[in-house]
Structures are given as C-alpha cells and as structure tokens.
Amino acid sequence: MRIDGPAKPDFHLQDIDGRNVPLKAFKGRTVLVHFFATSCEPCREELPALNRFLSRSAANASVVAISVAEVDPRVKRFLQQSPVNFPVLLDRDRTIAKSWKISTLPTTYILDANMKPMLVVEADFPWDKVDVESATGKLIMRKVR
C-alpha cells in the first residue's frame, strides 16, 4: 500500500446494464475503486472478498469495480457465476485505466469522501482483514479472533 496524492481523473463509464455512471456519484464517503479483469486469477479471488467487505462497511464506504479491456458478455457471464453487490463498470478500451496510470491488475484506489486518494494497493489484498472506521472513513485492521 502507499499513499497516493493528486486527485484522479473524473470518468463516466457504463455499467454492465448500459447505464452511465460518473465517478462523482460515489462522493460523500470512502470509496474503493477496484480495477480488475475476469481473466486475471487473483482478481477472480478478490472480488468475493470485496463483496464481504462491502457487507460489513456499507454504512461507511462504497465499492465500485472497473473491468479493464474486456467485452461485455465475458464480464456478465462471470458475474452471473460470481455475483457482487457493487457496481461493475466497463473500461472497454483501457482509457480510464491508462489515465489513472494503472499497470497491474488488480489495483484498488481508496478515495476519501472528497474523492482524494488516500491509498493505493497494486496487488490483491485480504479485504476480509479490514474495515472502514466510521468516524474518519479510514481503513483499519479488523480484530479477528
């Protein structure tokens, strides 16, 4: 993980149902912006963990996943088999991935309530071990017995 400073470029991407979704729709609380591809093995393993993270943290955080350079039917087929409860957007031509300087999948940016990057994780991550602190919106380690 590392701290990442300047604001990331805004975007409008379609979700898997064809609806246009702007990044600013997630402003107001901590949001995890997760870049992935269904063809990437660690990505496939990480999405369910993000789903569980959202289940615990829905009051304090949002998750949005961005499929990079994949055709719609492939992503839909994957989600039919492994459904998630957060929006999945389609960066079909890598424009957003490139503007955010993503070179590794999976990569997750954690933005604060004002869309400022707090952290970036350029690898798969054990999301079952973190929560979002309600007061600050920051990630904290879970006390797992």
Q: Which residues bind another protein (CB under 8 A)?
A: 35, 37, 39-43, 68-69, 71-74, 77, 92-94, 97-98, 102-106, 122-124
CA distances from 103 to 7, 10, 83, 122, 142 (A): 18, 18, 26, 8, 29
Three-state secondary structure readout of 51-99: HHHHHHHCCCEEEEEEEECCCHHHHHHHHHHCCCCCCEEEECCCHHHHH
Nearer Cβ to another protein (53/100): 100
| Residues with Cβ within 8 Å of residue 9, at least 6 apart in sequence | 96, 99, 100
Nearer Cβ to another protein (124/131): 124
Nearer Cβ to another protein (21/37): 37
Nearer Cβ to another protein (92/129): 92
To another protein, the closest distance from the beta carbon of 91 in angstroms equals 9
Q: Pick from 111, 103, 99, 125: which is nearest to 13 by CA? A: 99
